[in-house]
Amino acid sequence: MNDNRYSFLNAIDLKDIEFLYNKFKENPNSVESSWSAFFHGFDFGKENYNHIIKLDDDVKSKNDIFKREFLVCNLIDTYRKRGHFFTNTNPIQKRRKHSYSLDFKNFGLSEKELDTDFESGKLIGIGKTSLRNIINHLKKIYCGSIGIEYMYISNPEKIQWIEKWFYREKLQFSPEEKKFFLKKLNEAITFENFIHTKFVGQKRFSIEGNESTLPALEEIIEYTSDKYLTEEFIIGMSHRGRLNILSNFFQKNYSYIFSEFQGKEYKDKTFSGDVKYHLGFSRIRKTRKGRLVKMNLVPNPSHLESVDSIVEGITRAKIDIIYNQNSNSKKIIPILIHGDAALSCQGIVYEVLQLSQLKGYKTGGTIHIVINNQIGFTTNYTEGRSSIYCTDIAKILMLPVLHVNADDIESVVRAIYFAVDFRMRYHEDVFIDLLGYRKYGHNEGDEPRFTQPSLYQAISKHPNSYNLYKTKLEKEKIIDDNDVKKMEKEYENILHMKYHETNNIKWNVLNSFLEEEWKNFPIVSKNEELFKKVDTRFSMENIIKISNKIFSLPKKKKFFKKTEFIFRQRLEMIKKELVDWSMAELLAYGTLLYEGVNIRLSGEDVARGTFSQRHAVVKTEKEEEIILLNQICKEQGKIQIFNSPLSEYGVLGFDYGYAMYSPHVLTLWEAQFGDFANGGQIIIDQYISSGEDKWKIRNGIVLLLPHGYEGQGPEHSSARIERYLQLCAKNNLFVVNCTNPANFYHLLRRQMKLKFRKPLIIFTPKSLLRNTKCLSTIQDLSTGIFHEILDDPYVKDVNKITKLIFCSGKIYYELLNEKESIQDEKTALVRIEQIYPLNMEKIEKIIKKYKNRKEIFWVQEEPENMGLWNFILRKIGSFISFNLIAPSESSSPSTGSYSDFLRIQNKILKKAFF
């Protein structure tokens, strides 16, 4: 078969080679990578070069030699680029056929040259040798049980390092190491078989077909802790193989796992718990060489890849807090275990990869392991993705990918060593694609032959990796039949013993994840604890000192004129002892920092603020970044402020993970507009609202969601308050919609002063940021507290009040303006600031206070089927009659017409007072 793609080689001229060579001598990176590799390896010294140009006859001869050398170089380069297509990596199915092959004849070479020596052998680390040896070596490196994808990487040094790693002498494992691999494979297989027979038909999401995942994980902790002194691993994975990894890697007590299969209840009825293959676990365990390592398996729901960003957030928190920021990222490694179908199609994977090299989110590189079943539930991979490989997303960051035959255990371990070495050298992600199969259906009650009869006929006849490796070691005379029987019997006895121990276990145990880090923060659910007044006061003198620090720009630096104006205005307000919304927020941070609290603020455009209100990071005209909040005093906390990429799902998950580890850090995520949080709804639903109930996870993350109807259309009006209220139960969240700066200030401070942690959802304003009535005094900041309910401060005579209007958020100021314009003295405006948990006692007191009331209204700017109305009606409507004033039901949050918006708002206001 002739390949016309290489016909241009017949026209190679020495002058062209000379030109490229001279460029190469000046700068190796200036020529294409294959030429750079060629010149690196080929002996192109001056002596040979000068000899070439002496005689015309010699030129023709040498020209032919160069041509053939370059043909071999092209053969080598093609193996590097395409060898992964011709590997023995698929244990079950035949590989896709390709229209081209790696036959040397397609490269202009012939059989008579098979025994000719070529200098190009130096390119692959075997020196000058025959073409036959070169081809055999290339097949061994690139077409065995490991397929390497890396030639798309733009950095030549990185390519050379990868090649050097694989060209070195093949790793040899000792007999003891091989016995250990066999032992772990036996545990993986026997554990699954044991459950299969003891708990017939129950879901377990077996690891069978990818049992090599177990020795792979063992070697990660062994290799990294020994060579790099790594101390901790944060692991995220979905349900496939999770129980096996919990038992045989994390060493969770088998009895507890068997009890979970028996359906025993939790003793503590406070928590609902979760299915066994979603639970998290923390463990300190020893490696084979006796080193102690800490391992954490993060709990996750059936949204398979949602855990990815949370793993990265936990890792980054530990790097910041324990491991001296990025300088010590070798001490901790995030490991993500994916399924092939989810990896290739879940958008969160892309988002997390895009975070991996960003200043505020990098974790020193993640090791990705794909449990590649070659199927997704009932969907074949040919129907499940358009890319060739499930790992092709790695190419966006030019990350290396190793495709490995999951049945070849020693190749799997070799791939692990490479992944670790690459991660530690370059602090980047790396992917290992373990090509195996799924022995049963999606779960053990599913029948895969309905949809894949041919595939499962092949799987039923295929020996598992344990039996394959056992046969190999028997041939190598490393083990004999007695060794095998003894090993198998010992493990079976352990399983039977632990199974019988479940008779003594009355209750299931819900192991709390990261228990040690949260031991001083109890889980609180009682109202009296939630409504207890928290001391958030701070001396007025120090507030003014902090204000002068954080609102004064450095005099020796030049700033944009509008920036200077904003900061001058802030200082003038401080002189008047007044603060607006953004000043109150910055002072909340400043006072907490002064007290030693660390803060992380992350999200889209948070440094400046979406509405140009925050300016927590200011830039000089030369774009030097200055964070004045970090210059308050010597012994202060540190604030980190990061503009995130345009991502909600990934970044919110990351910051939730960050807060999951760090109860002592105020961790905030802000959406550009509140409705943008829709993009992170899985994190909100599956983790933020329910993590405490399902997994005993405590978390103090703060969500800042701009909300308010101002005629900006349906997309930027509503943060969908009603959705969060549907998630509220058992005091799981704080949901707040503040209307004055002081209350916002005390709310933020309260979050860190509480003796427990709950996620805090704050609906923040837009137009109120510059509303002249939305101001507070410094005295309010200094001596006040957070108020869940705000009674009307303008009522002079309680007895005159015949109408009560309850509301929440921005609509209060519009109602207030209307009330003042008509000089109404019969209406009281009551604001619900903390919507959940709702302080019913305070509301009842306010209602009783106004004895002459005749009407009570709930007024909202959201349509009747949205906003707080249904929640308020359910909570308060049981003991008091309420009337609703709101726009009509709508499928869209708001109109797109500004004039129509004004008409609707005016109608609400008129109806409220007439």
Rounded (5°) CA angle 461-178-94:
30
pLDDT value at 10 more than 50: no
Helix (H) or strand (E) holding 78: helix 56-82
Mind spelling out the 3-state secondary structure of 138-183? HHHHHCCCEEEECCCCCCHHHHHHHHHHHHCCCCCCCHHHHHHHHH
Segment 887-900 shows an average pLDDT of: 94
Give the lowest-confidence range in 218-222, 270-274, 329-333, 677-681.
270-274
Neighbours of 389 (CB within 10 A): 23
pLDDT tens sequence across 485-538? 999 999 999 999 999 999 998 888 777 678 888 989 999 988 888 999 999 999
Look at 17-21, 255-259, 383-387, 566-570 and tell me which has the smallest mean pLDDT. Answer: 17-21
Beta strands per DSSP E along 485-619 = 578-579, 598-603, 618-619
Looking at residue 41, its pLDDT comes to 52
Q: pLDDT tens digits, residue range 817-860?
A: 999 999 999 999 999 999 999 999 999 999 999 999 999 999 99
Question: At residue 618, what are phi and psi to the nearest 5 degrees?
Answer: -110, 150
Q: For 29-38, 49-58, 473-482, 574-583, which range has the lowest pLDDT when averaged over its residues?
A: 49-58
pLDDT of residue 95: 76
Whether residue 49 has pLDDT greater than 50: no
Indicate whether 7 pLDDT > 60. Answer: no
How many residues are recorded in the chain? 914
Q: What is the mean pLDDT of residues 541-563?
A: 96
What does the pLDDT look like over 311-334, one tens digit per residue? Answer: 999 999 999 999 876 556 899 999
Q: What is the pLDDT of residues 866-884, one digit of tens each?
A: 999 999 999 998 888 889 9
Residue 341 reports pLDDT greater than 80? yes
Nearest C-alpha neighbor of 250 from the set 264, 238, 266, 233: 233
d(CA 105, CA 75): 10
pLDDT tens digits for range 281-301: 999 999 999 999 999 999 998
The proportion of the chain whose per-residue pLDDT surpasses 90, expressed as a percent, equals 81
Task: Give the mean pLDDT of 77-101.
Answer: 88
Rounded Cα distance between 346 and 336, Å, is 14
Per-residue pLDDT of 418-449, as tens digits, reads 999 999 999 999 999 999 999 998 888 889 99
- pLDDT of 784: 92
Q: What is the pLDDT of residue 273?
A: 80
Q: Phi and psi of 504, rounded to 5°?
A: -95, 0
**Average pLDDT value for residue range 763-780:** 96
Task: Give the pLDDT band of residue 36 (cuts 50, 70, 90).
Answer: low
Q: How confident is the model at residue 38 (pLDDT cuts 50, 70, 90)?
A: low
